[in-house]
Amino acid sequence: MSQSSPGTAERAGRRASTAAAVGTAIEYYDFAIYGYLAVVLAPLFFPTTDGLIGLLGTLGIAASGFVARPLGGFFFGRLGDRRGRRSVLMVTVAVMGIATVLTGLLPTYSEIGVLAPILLTVLRIAQGFSAGGEIGGAASLATESAPQRRRGLFGSATSIGITLGMAGAAGVVGTISALATPEQMAAWGWRIPFIVAGPLLVLAVLYRMRVEDSPLFQEMVAEKAPPKAPITEVLRHHPRSVLRVVLIAYATMTTGGLSSVYLLVHLSAVLGYSLTWSLWLIVLIMLLPIGLIPWAGALSDRFGRRTVLAGGLVSFLVLAVPCFWVMQQGSLVLATIAALVLNVPFAVSQGVVYTVYTEQFPTRVRYSGVSIGFNIGGVIGSGAVSVVATGLVSMTGNTLAPGFYMVFAAVVGLLTVGWMRETSRDELAGDAQRTDSSASAV
């Protein structure tokens, strides 16, 4: 990238960021559908007289997808550091799309018995395995292709893709649930959002084929052979960086999961609002603050990653319990406002966090380092967030319990930010030999 003109570098960065966003949007559309349809899928795959127990079983399968993510992170991270970001990203989105379409074709428990939830679990694990290789590659491609002083802005494209994918999934499910009766939704309506993933998959692969690999990866390969064992190298030389990513991922994915996907379960299953209204509320609260994501990324280029990320986490700390209290006052208007307010710090933290992940590691092991840390954090974060939050409400009878859990996650994140050094002015080029000992926290 050092040999390219500023204009050429910026155009390449924009193409890479767009490719990262497009693929990630479709991947997270696929992954989010299951969470949005959990209330519908529960009686179809886990028939039981206790609706909450069936819902917990369905959410348990959702969690199994997150458990598979670290395995995918190890597998695709190694490939991405040895073979390049672009080719691996095309594979991850293809596997995700195929597993999603097959989910929409599954027979239910009434048709094949216990084999139905087993097959659902297998496909969910395949989705999780694929998703485990997505973020590390997308974030690496976007930031490695970005101009030096605009990494935060360009790196925020990954977050924009995630938000658009999750909002799109909620929009599709919300539209179908509005047009179909509950009986039609249970009979065939739930299948449509999964099957829609097919053409979206084709579009994502075609677009990613048009983008070159990141300039930093190409320069590294031209100067030196890629690492033979990137997983061993990242764990041996960058353990503190991996741990920082794990903790930040846990904090931001827990707070983000509670303020987005889990809200559908909380509003519809716990508080009794209609599923269709709850789905469209999710679309609203995710799309309205989306402009804050690139703004936060740009702010982090000016004021530093730690400042912006800490600001988002402090806001969660202050707003979590009051917003969950307002949601349960029986007013749709108040619930909408509270959910929207809660998503402002979500957008701010998402605007900077994926750039933070990539800046913890040198180019030669960046894909592996981000994938391992992010996905382990995801298992204990958003992978279990709906199960933990629903379980807390079930055990305590307190509908504010998810808010207190959000406060705990925000505290973990703030402590980790205090342990991090500022990385916004670091040069990513020529960083191949950087280790934890040469990049200690301040």
| pLDDT surpassing 60 at residue 3 | no
pLDDT at 61: 67
Number of structural domains (the chain) is: 1
Answer whether residue 152 is part of any domain: yes
pLDDT at 430: 57
- pLDDT tier, 404 (very low <50, low <70, confident <90, very high otherwise): very high
Q: 33-37, 43-47, 53-57, 119-123 — which is least confidently predicted?
A: 53-57
* Percent of the chain predicted with pLDDT > 70: 90
CATH number at residue 184: 1.20.1250.20
User: Which residues make Cβ contacts (< 8 Å) with residue 350, sequence separation at least 6?
Assistant: 156, 159, 162, 163, 252, 256, 293, 296
Please give the Cα distance from 334 to 419 (Å, whole number): 37
- pLDDT tier, 367 (very low <50, low <70, confident <90, very high otherwise): very high
pLDDT at 247: 96
| pLDDT surpassing 80 at residue 9 | no
- pLDDT tier, 109 (very low <50, low <70, confident <90, very high otherwise): confident
Give helix then strand counts, H and E, for the chain: 24, 0
Answer whether residue 2 is part of any domain: no
- C-alpha 429 chain-centroid distance: 27
Please give the Cα distance from 416 to 87 (Å, whole number): 33
| pLDDT surpassing 90 at residue 354 | yes
User: Which residues make Cβ contacts (< 8 Å) with residue 116, sequence separation at least 6?
Assistant: 44, 45, 106, 107, 108, 109
pLDDT at 2: 44
Q: What is the CA radius of gyration of the chain?
A: 21
Please give the Cα distance from 219 to 362 (Å, whole number): 13
pLDDT at 234: 92
Q: 30-44, 129-143, 231-245 — which is least confidently predicted?
A: 30-44
Residue 141 burial (10 A CB sphere; 0-12, 13-18, 19+): buried
Task: Select the more confidently predicted residue: 10 or 86.
Answer: 86
| pLDDT surpassing 80 at residue 59 | no
Please give the Cα distance from 258 to 254 (Å, whole number): 6
- pLDDT tier, 441 (very low <50, low <70, confident <90, very high otherwise): very low
Answer whether residue 227 is part of any domain: yes
Smallest Cα–Cα separation from 120: which of 181, 199, 191? 191
Answer whether residue 326 is part of any domain: yes
Answer whether residue 211 is part of any domain: yes
pLDDT at 52: 53
Answer whether residue 3 is part of any domain: no
pLDDT at 442: 43
pLDDT at 39: 73
List strand residue ranges (DSSP E) for 79-125, in order. none
Token pair, residue 39, equals 């209330």
| pLDDT surpassing 60 at residue 433 | no
Return mean pLDDT, the chain.
84
| pLDDT surpassing 80 at residue 270 | no
Please give the Cα distance from 285 to 370 (Å, whole number): 28
| pLDDT surpassing 50 at residue 168 | yes
* Amino acid identity at 86: R
* Amino acid identity at 52: L
Answer whether residue 1 is part of any domain: no
| pLDDT surpassing 90 at residue 296 | yes
Please give the Cα distance from 73 to 69 (Å, whole number): 6
* Amino acid identity at 268: S
Per residue in 302-338, pLDDT (tens digit) is 999 999 999 999 999 999 999 989 988 877 788 888 8
Answer whether residue 399 is part of any domain: yes
pLDDT at 437: 57
Domain membership of residue 182 as a residue range: 10-438
Please say whether the beta carbons of 154 and 146 come within 8 A: yes
* Percent of the chain predicted with pLDDT > 90: 30
